[in-house]
Amino acid sequence: MDFDFSFHYQDKIPREEPAYWFIFRQEKILAATEGNNTKPLLMQGGDLPALDTDRALHIGRLDGVDCYALADDAPEGLVLPHTEWVGLRRSAGRFDEQMFHIYGRARQLLLWAENNRYCGRCGNRTALKTEERCFLCPSCGLAAYPRLSPAVIVSIVRDGKLLLATSARFQVRMFSVLAGFVEPGECLEECVRREIREETGLEVKNIRYFKSQPWPFPDSLMVGFTSEYAGGELKIDGREIVEAGWYGPDELPAIPGKISIARALIDRFIEQYARTA
């Protein structure tokens, strides 16, 4: 299903017109349930008496309807008919991909607001600007815009096999392509080479852009690349990566779900090399 989402910004909370509400409690969202699908709540702000809707953040418009993100601070947690609390990351497969990214945007903006209520320079209370999405310190003038942390994610192919690795950080044991955050002063291609060299001891060539994806855990922008093995022996440090190996298209281990760019890179490999296997 395709949605028309715009990044329109406004700083006021309408109470009369229905709006989509993206309500979070830590990493869980309160979603309307419809079969095995989840969707945001469509209601008036006045229908949420247990929550302080004055703290809501406008995140855009979905099919012409305003969207707001709000953290649930009710002591026992908000309870509404025909809704349930759903883990955004663990239940990603229940979301349409576009809707998943809208929920992710809501979560990122809530974390940004939580982390910038006070000025990081002088400690005074900040205020949300009316004309743009920015917290401004009235004392020293420091401006805090939503944070994005760029990271690269890359597939490496050698003789028709794909390098996959598993990390001790993964909540569920699975194998994925390599990824890492971009350093200050580093271009994306340099980051690809450095991350691969640091994590596996390998060198790569023919680095090509694939596509990008926002990833709200907590505020990443994943930039995908494909590459080919150029040299080196596979060596892992046992800390960041605990196991790695080369896999053909018909011998893959457990891999990430369909909604991630990691899976898109793996599917691209399968599509290309299953034909020639």
How do residues 97-153 score in pLDDT, each as one tens digit? 899 999 999 999 999 999 999 999 999 999 999 999 999 999 999 999 999 999 999
- Secondary structure element (H or E) that encloses residue 269, with its range: helix 261-273
Query: What are 54's two structure tokens?
Result: 């004055």
pLDDT above 70: residue 259: yes
207 vs 165: CA distance, rounded Å: 19
**pTM of the shown model:** 0.91
Query: What are 79's two structure tokens?
Result: 């309870």
Q: Which of 161, 240, 155 is nearest to 199 (CA)?
A: 240
The model's pLDDT over 181-229, given as tens digits with 9 standing for 90+, comes to 999 999 999 999 999 999 999 999 999 999 999 999 999 999 999 999 9
Whether 148 and 221 have beta carbons less than 8 Å apart is answered as yes
Number of residues written out for the chain: 277
Average pLDDT rounded to a whole number, residues 229-246: 94
Strands (E), the chain: 5-6, 19-25, 28-34, 37-39, 41-43, 57-62, 65-71, 83-87, 127-128, 135-136, 143-144, 149-158, 161-166, 178-181, 203-215, 220-231, 243-247
35 vs 215: CA distance, rounded Å: 26
Q: Is the Cα torsion angle 240, 213, 171, 263 positive or negative in sign? A: negative
Look at 182 and 55; give whichever has higher pLDDT: 182
Q: Where are the domains of the chain?
A: 5-115, 149-273
- Give 208's strand partners: 226
The model's pLDDT over 23-52, given as tens digits with 9 standing for 90+, comes to 999 888 998 877 666 788 988 877 887 788
132 vs 161: CA distance, rounded Å: 47
Whether 248 and 274 have beta carbons less than 8 Å apart is answered as no
- Give 70's strand partners: 23
70 vs 143: CA distance, rounded Å: 22
Whether 222 and 261 have beta carbons less than 8 Å apart is answered as yes
Round to the nearest angstrom and report the end-to-end CA distance of the chain.
34
* Residue 119 backbone zone (phi > 0: left; psi -120 to 50: alpha; other: beta): beta
pLDDT above 90: residue 241: yes
Whether 117 and 124 have beta carbons less than 8 Å apart is answered as no
| 203-215 and 220-231 strand pairing | antiparallel
pLDDT for the residue 1: 58
Query: What are 250's two structure tokens?
Result: 């018909």
Phi, psi at 39, each rounded to 5° = -150, 160
Q: Give domain 149-273's CATH architecture.
A: Alpha-Beta Complex (3.90)
Query: What are 113's two structure tokens?
Result: 């607001």
Query: What are 212's two structure tokens?
Result: 């990008």
CATH entry 3.40.640.10 includes domain 5-115: no
One fold for 5-115 and 149-273:
yes
